[in-house]
Amino acid sequence: MREAIVIEELCKYYNGFLALDNLSLKIAEDDDVGLLGPNGAGKTTTIKILCGLISPSSGRAYIYGADVVEEREKALSHVGAIIETPEFYPYLTPEEVLSYLGRLRGMSGRTLEDAITEALERVKLRGWAKVKIGKFSRGMKQRLAIAQALLHNPPILILDEPALGLDPRGMVEVREMLKEVRERRTVFYASHILSEITQVCDKVAIINRGRLLAYDSIDNLRKKFESKLKIEVEMIRPPSARQLRQIGRLDDVARVERVGNKVLIEFEGDREASAKLMEEIRRMGHQLVSFRTVGITLEDVYLKLVEETI
């Protein structure tokens, strides 16, 4: 498959501070990749280099083969981007802003008019098309940011924390919109919010201190880091400390922890052993509400990797 984004040994220094440390990444066409990392990991720096907002200290980045520094305009013609929390000119209306940006992307006439209507409808701002942006809320501006990113129907979407600063409802709305538009597009989505990444992306690149720690599909990463099965047991009454120790002594139980009414068990046995474990817990007199295995989450992988680099 063709590579949409290629990042080769990118380094970026800010006044001597190393923000990106030999970062390399290849993103195939139609892949939806999340760039995950704590604050200050280098996510925004990577995105800004790809969008031609800053230059790398060394290394190269390409979008569909075009160098983002040497062939900036060609590279950006394939991209729709949302970077941080963008602002718009308060004196213009959404229609005017989209018309302005559309023309900068080589659109005109009926094609541009139709694209503006479609983009505004998609982000539910059609009714606000002729209202000055100065009157808009943060959420409305973020929706407009999505509209401008999609306006020219770009094959690549580069998004940096697109739900930043939004209320929970706004976050859900943005996520739903992005889930809708990711079809037939390459999405490169930087965030430190794991739930956003897991809902929009199939693959994840985890970075910290400017270095790539892992890059794989979310499923593969889980498998790689999954050594013990986790079982979550919900009981009518929470177990006492003594009862918890008893559970801990059962066969194949590696670790046990109480979280409210629930008990989290790290278990080394197979499916049959897990069925036996459930019986043993019942036999100890506990009334079970639920008994379910929970796989390792992306959060577990993320925390493990990030902790290792601290």
Partner 1 sequence: MTDERDKLRAVAKYEFMKHLRRKRFYVVLALAIAVEMIVLIALPLLGAGYPSNVMTMAALLSMGATFPTMGAVFFAGDAIAGEFEGKTGYVLFPNPVRRSTIVLGKYLACFSAIALVVLALYGVVGASLLWIYRRVPVEVAGSMALCLLASGAVVAVTFFFSSISRGAMGATVTTLIFIFVVLSVVESVLLMAGQPRWFLLSYASDVVVTIYNGYGAFAGVREGMPSGAMRSPDVGTSVAVMVAYLVVFLALSAAITRRREMT
The minimum distance between CB 77 and partner 1, in angstroms, equals 4
Q: Of 38, 40, 59, 86, which lies in the binding site for partner 1, with binding defined by CB under 8 A?
A: 86
Which of these segments, 53-61, 238-246, 253-261, 299-307, binds partner 1 (CB under 8 A)?
A: 53-61
Q: Of 65, 70, 89, 275, which lies in the binding site for partner 1, with binding defined by CB under 8 A?
A: 89
Q: Of 1, 16, 39, 87, which lies in the binding site for partner 1, with binding defined by CB under 8 A?
A: 87
Q: 56, 47, 41, 48: which is closest to 209 by C-alpha?
A: 41
Mapping DSSP onto H, E and C, the string for 148-203 reads HHHCCCCCEEEEECCCCCCCHHHHHHHHHHHHHHCCCCEEEEEECCHHHHHHHCCE
Distances (CA, A) of 170 to 38, 109, 117, 190, 302: 22, 33, 22, 18, 25
Residue 130: burial class (beta carbons within 10 Å; 0-12, 13-18, 19+) = exposed
Under rule CB under 8 A, residue 91 binds partner 1: yes
Which of these segments, 92-100, 114-122, 184-192, 248-256, binds partner 1 (CB under 8 A)?
A: 92-100
Q: 34 or 52, CB closer to partner 1? A: 52
Under rule CB under 8 A, residue 83 binds partner 1: yes
Q: 141 or 230, CB closer to partner 1? A: 141
Under rule CB under 8 A, residue 145 binds partner 1: yes
Return d(Cα 265, Cα 255) in angstroms, integer: 6
Query: What crossing angle do the helices spanning 168-181 and 109-122 adopt, rounded to 10°?
Result: 130
The minimum distance between CB 75 and partner 1, in angstroms, equals 8
Q: 46 or 99, CB closer to partner 1? A: 99
Residue numbers 99-128 binding partner 1 by CB under 8 A: 99-101, 103-106, 108
Return d(Cα 134, Cα 144) in angstroms, integer: 13
The minimum distance between CB 61 and partner 1, in angstroms, equals 13
- Would you give the DSSP letter of residue 93? -
Q: 41 or 296, CB closer to partner 1? A: 41
Residue numbers 240-279 binding partner 1 by CB under 8 A: none
Under rule CB under 8 A, residue 77 binds partner 1: yes
Q: Of 43, 48, 185, 203, which lies in the binding site for partner 1, with binding defined by CB under 8 A?
A: 48
In the chain, where does DSSP find H-type helix? 43-50, 72-76, 94-104, 109-122, 138-150, 168-181, 194-200, 218-225, 241-248, 271-283, 298-309
Which of these segments, 28-36, 85-93, 167-175, 264-272, binds partner 1 (CB under 8 A)?
A: 85-93
**71: number of Cβ within 10 Å:** 15
Q: What share of residues in the chain are helix, strand, coil (percent, to 5)?
A: 40, 30, 30
Q: 103 or 282, CB closer to partner 1? A: 103
Number of residues written out for the chain:
310
For partner 1 (CB under 8 A), the number of binding residues is: 36
Q: 103 or 255, CB closer to partner 1? A: 103
Q: 70, 144, 41: which is closest to 101 by C-alpha?
A: 144
Q: Interface residues with partner 1 (CB under 8 A)?
A: 14, 48, 51-55, 72-74, 76-77, 79, 81, 83-89, 91-92, 96-97, 99-101, 103-106, 108, 132, 145, 148
